[in-house]
């Protein structure tokens, strides 16, 4: 049986590490694309040479173009720039908007049946923009999805496990909303081995962990000084690819287009979805407390603000 095919666009830290993780799974062939001449080829060659050590027979190809990406089952988009000194948030938004839009315009016609997973920041705005391009090429909303909630939830679960001295495997949680300071951890659905977190941690400790989760990416940027997180984001991306290619029907928090769910309409935002071969096969609506709903609405407002700024992007 032919192996599945995954394209990763962007061979920086997130993209290259995602490509490595996917290659090491062994059941898919990987194409790594970047505009920097020879760089994706070099990284792909290095990763390929780990195959004999790991017992992996899959192939990984580096490219500066898109011909090799044709007929991909999944396309993971990590391309984009990081914010630089003196650059406004809008400058970053407009620059990455052009990059993501260009990538979608190249990959969508070549892989018309793919699921597109967007990882580029600012996440919610970028997946919205990707869909605006892809939908014009026949892509339905369920086949354009954003990676954020899996990462944010992993950070939340990590901090909770450390606080309680338990295995991360036994901590279950959901973090919804936009990928930023406005994200919303749902404490009423947070359990450890089936036990509610409210019975294990006091409100003060839980609030401290929520704040650390909301600033999780920034904490890593501050520590690294010259970059941002990539090990956990690449792992989160790979988990989503597994769910799609293996049709696992995983219940995962992902950025999906909402059309009335949670009382929110017309924007991409992090919510629990069933992720399988069809991409976002269903948005799962959880009962929220009034406080959680208010926080989710506030997060939606922040996402909508970015989408409105994109709508007024300068031409060219």
Compute the distance between CA of residue 244 and CA of residue 307 in angstroms, rounded to an integer: 27
Cα separation values, 33 from 7, 48, 215, 277, Å? 7, 15, 30, 23
| Number of neighbouring beta carbons within 10 Å of residue 134 | 26
Compute the distance between CA of residue 66 and CA of residue 172 in angstroms, rounded to an integer: 39
Report how far Cα 12 is from the mean position of its chain's Cα atoms: 15
In the sheet where 195-196 sits, what is the strand order?
171-172, 191-192, 195-196
Cis ω before 117 (30° cut-off from 0):
no
Query: CA neighbours within 13 Å on the CB side: how many for 9?
Result: 30
Listed in sequence order, the DSSP H helices in 170-285 are 203-214, 216-224, 231-245
Whether residue 129 lies in the annotated active site: no
Q: Which one is catalytic: 119, 179, 185, 192?
A: 179
> Any idea which residues carry the catalytic annotation?
179
């Amino acid at each position: 049986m032919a192996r599945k095919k995954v394209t990763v666009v962007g061979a920086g830290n997130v993209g290259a590490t995602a490509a490595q993780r996917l290659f090491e799974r062994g059941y898919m062939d990987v194409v790594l694309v970047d505009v920097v001449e020879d760089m994706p080829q070099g990284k792909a060659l290095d990763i390929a040479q780990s195959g004999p050590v790991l017992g992996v027979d899959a192939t990984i190809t580096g490219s500066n173009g898109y011909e090799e990406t044709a007929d991909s089952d999944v396309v993971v988009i990590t391309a984009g720039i990081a914010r630089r000194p003196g650059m406004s948030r809008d400058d970053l938004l407009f620059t990455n908007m052009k990059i993501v839009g260009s990538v979608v315009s190249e990959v969508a016609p070549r892989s018309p049946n793919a699921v597109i997973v967007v990882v580029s920041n600012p996440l919610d705005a970028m997946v919205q923009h990707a869909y605006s391009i892809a939908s014009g090429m026949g892509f339905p909303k369920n086949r354009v999805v954003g990676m954020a909630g899996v990462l944010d939830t992993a950070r939340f679960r990590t901090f909770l496990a450390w606080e309680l001295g338990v295995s991360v495997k036994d901590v279950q949680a959901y973090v919804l909303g936009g990928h930023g300071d406005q994200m919303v951890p749902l404490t009423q659905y947070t359990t450890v081995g089936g036990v509610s977190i409210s019975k294990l941690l006091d409100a003060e400790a839980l609030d401290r962990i929520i704040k650390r989760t909301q600033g999780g990416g920034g904490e890593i940027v501050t520590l690294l000084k010259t970059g941002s997180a990539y090990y956990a984001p690449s792992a989160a991306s790979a988990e989503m690819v597994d769910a799609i290619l293996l049709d696992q029907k995983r219940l995962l928090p992902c950025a999906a287009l909402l059309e009335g769910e949670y009382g929110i309409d017309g924007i991409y935002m992090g919510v629990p979805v069933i992720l399988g071969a069809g991409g976002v096969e269903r948005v799962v609506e959880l009962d929220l407390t009034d406080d959680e709903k208010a926080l989710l609405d506030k997060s939606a407002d922040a996402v909508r603000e970015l989408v409105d700024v994109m709508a007024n992007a300068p031409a060219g």
